[in-house]
Structures are given as structure tokens and as C-alpha cells.
């Protein structure tokens, strides 16, 4: 078996799982119940059904692999760096979904030792399937993805991922105030996964987050890198999937320019 063959098999499973999750999201539209996991942090029947569908596909093919999903039952997650770990957000953009705003996705990735190997972000409304394979590139619906190549903030469209609730003096808003003054535009889509997919495609030039979870970004970070982009930790160091505040950009020049504008990074006390 060549090095590429297991990646192909994993990617096929990743795609099948993401598509299964997406079908559940579409099926539940208009008749789901919504609950709060925490103030302003929502979960719906659709989140739970989509995660069950994703996990069923993966477990049928790789029952020995570890699994982390945003909506999995509470409990200690135990795995080692030698384990293959599926990292799943069954509905990234739940608040958008609840309001009928068409910007949400299923995110599925397989990682080892904190490094994503394959990743898929599936937008079931637009029927766009973004896929990436470590060392082999990234595509959307079969078309190769390529970053924009932007180098100047003044000509860049960037996105910010904000937590569900933001205080007036939060680092997130301080960053926003600095960046919005120098960029062509700043967006908050409500989906970290799609933000990263759009950087990989080149329709966004950069994105950053101060408080985020591994399941939000595992597939997207791989997409950006395989499309030629740059991803670091929010403080400029090496990106760590298990402590994932990050900055992603189309290339090193734009990344460095954005890092110079962002406020000094105070690591949140409640990092995942």
C-alpha cells in the first residue's frame, strides 16, 4: 500500500460522513427544537442528529479510531499522539441555522499527533464540498483551491470569529477596532469553518480568532495550508490544534501585516 492510499480511504470516509451530516441538517430544517448549552450558545436536534449520522459512517469503517465531536456526551477524552482521531463539528454556525441564515456547515477531519491528515467542510445549502489532504492539495467540488495572494491589508477582505457573547472591553473587540480601520472590509459570518474554507478559496484573504475549539478549525486549517496559505497560533507561534486560537492568511506578507495590527495576545483562561 502506498502512502497515498490510506489518505484516499480516509478522505472518502471523511466526505461520506460530512455529506451524511449535511443531509440531516437539511432534513431537520423547520421542525427542530433549540436548547441552550450555555447563555447564547445554542444546540438543536439537528446538531445531535447530524453528529450521530457522521459518527455512524466513521464507526462503520474505523471503529478503532478515536472520536471527538462537539455534541458528544460529556466525559473525559482519552487518546495518545499515536491515535487517529476524528474531530467533528456537525453544525458549525448553529445560530445561523436556527435563524434560517444560510451560512453553516459540517466539518470533519482526521488528525494524528495534533496534525490534520484529511479534512472536509460541507455546506449543504450551497452544495459545496471543500476537501483537503495533507501534502496533496485542496479542492471544492473537484476544482483546485488557491489562496488569493493578497499582500496588503488595505486591499484585503478579512473575517473574525467571535465567541457567542462579547464584552465591551474584550480582546476580540479591541482587535476588531484595530483591524477594521486598515482593511478593505471585515466580516463576521458566524461559521469559523466556512471562514477558513473561504480563505482557501481566495474570496477571503485572512481570518483570526481568539477563542475557538478544535472541531471548529481542524478541517479548515488544513484547507488553508494545502491551498498555499499560512496559519499560526494567535500569538504568532506554532499552531496547536488542541489550543487553537489562530491567525490564517493568504500568504506570509499579509499574515505578518495582520499580526502587526492585532493587539498583543492575552491567552484566554478558558482555552479549550
The answer to whether residues 139 and 159 belong to one domain is no
The answer to whether residues 162 and 41 belong to one domain is no
| pLDDT the model gives residue 271 | 46
Q: What is the tens place of the pLDDT at every residue in 30-47?
A: 877 666 665 445 568 888
* End-of-domain residue from the set 126, 144, 162: 144
The answer to whether residues 162 and 221 belong to one domain is yes
Percent of the chain with pLDDT over 70: 90
| pLDDT the model gives residue 272 | 41
Least confident of 116-130, 150-164, 218-232: 150-164
Give the three cell numbers for residue 173. Answer: 473587540
**203 pLDDT band (50/70/90 cuts)?**
very high
The answer to whether residues 161 and 247 belong to one domain is yes
Sign of CA dihedral 80, 72, 187, 102: positive
* End-of-domain residue from the set 144, 165, 181: 144
The answer to whether residues 202 and 235 belong to one domain is yes
- Give the residue numbers spanning the domain of 8: 4-144
| Mean pLDDT of the region 170-180 | 92
The answer to whether residues 158 and 140 belong to one domain is no
Residues contacting 239, CB < 8 A, separation 6+: 221, 231, 232, 233, 246
**What CA–CA distance (Å, rounded) separates 90 from 17?**
10
**Burial class, 40, CB count within 10 angstroms (exposed 0-12 / middle 13-18 / buried 19+):** exposed
**What CA–CA distance (Å, rounded) separates 143 from 130?**
9
**93 pLDDT band (50/70/90 cuts)?**
very high
| Count of structural domains, the chain | 2
The answer on pLDDT for 75 being more than 50 is no
Whether 113 is in a domain gets the answer yes
The answer to whether residues 124 and 167 belong to one domain is no
Whether 272 is in a domain gets the answer no
Size of the chain, expressed as the number of residues it contains:
272
User: Helices 4-28 and 45-61 sit at what angle, rounded to 10 degrees?
Assistant: 150
Q: What is the tens place of the pLDDT at every residue in 109-154?
A: 999 999 999 999 999 999 999 999 999 999 999 999 999 999 999 9
- Mean pLDDT (the chain) is 90
**58 pLDDT band (50/70/90 cuts)?**
very high
* End-of-domain residue from the set 127, 144, 161: 144
Amino acid at each position: 500500500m502506498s502512502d497515498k492510499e490510506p489518505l484516499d480511504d480516509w478522505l472518502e470516509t471523511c466526505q461520506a460522513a460530512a455529506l451524511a451530516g449535511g443531509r440531516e441538517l437539511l432534513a431537520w430544517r423547520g421542525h427542530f427544537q433549540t436548547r441552550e448549552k450555555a447563555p447564547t450558545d445554542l444546540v438543536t436536534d439537528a446538531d445531535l442528529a447530524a453528529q450521530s449520522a457522521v459518527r455512524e459512517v466513521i464507526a462503520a469503517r474505523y471503529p478503532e479510531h478515536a472520536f471527538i465531536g462537539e455534541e458528544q456526551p460529556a466525559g473525559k477524552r482519552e487518546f495518545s499522539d499515536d491515535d487517529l482521531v476524528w474531530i467533528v463539528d456537525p453544525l458549525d454556525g448553529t445560530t445561523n441555522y436556527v435563524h434560517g441564515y444560510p451560512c453553516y456547515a459540517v466539518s470533519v477531519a482526521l488528525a494524528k499527533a495534533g496534525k490534520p491528515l484529511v479534512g472536509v467542510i460541507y455546506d449543504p445549502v450551497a452544495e459545496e464540498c471543500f476537501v483537503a489532504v495533507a501534502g496533496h492539495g485542496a479542492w471544492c467540488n473537484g476544482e483546485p483551491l488557491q489562496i488569493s495572494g493578497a499582500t496588503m491589508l488595505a486591499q484585503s477582505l478579512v473575517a473574525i470569529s467571535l465567541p457567542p457573547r462579547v464584552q465591551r472591553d474584550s480582546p476580540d473587540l479591541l482587535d476588531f477596532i484595530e483591524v477594521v480601520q486598515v482593511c478593505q472590509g471585515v466580516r463576521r459570518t458566524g461559521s469559523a469553518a466556512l471562514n477558513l474554507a473561504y480563505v482557501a478559496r481566495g474570496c477571503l484573504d485572512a481570518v483570526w480568532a481568539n477563542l475557538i475549539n478544535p472541531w471548529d478549525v481542524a478541517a479548515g486549517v488544513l484547507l488553508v495550508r494545502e491551498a498555499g496559505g499560512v496559519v499560526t497560533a494567535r500569538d504568532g507561534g506554532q499552531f496547536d490544534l488542541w489550543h487553537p486560537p489562530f491567525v490564517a492568511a493568504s500568504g506570509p506578507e499579509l499574515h505578518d501585516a495582520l499580526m502587526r495590527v492585532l493587539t498583543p495576545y492575552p491567552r484566554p483562561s478558558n482555552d479549550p
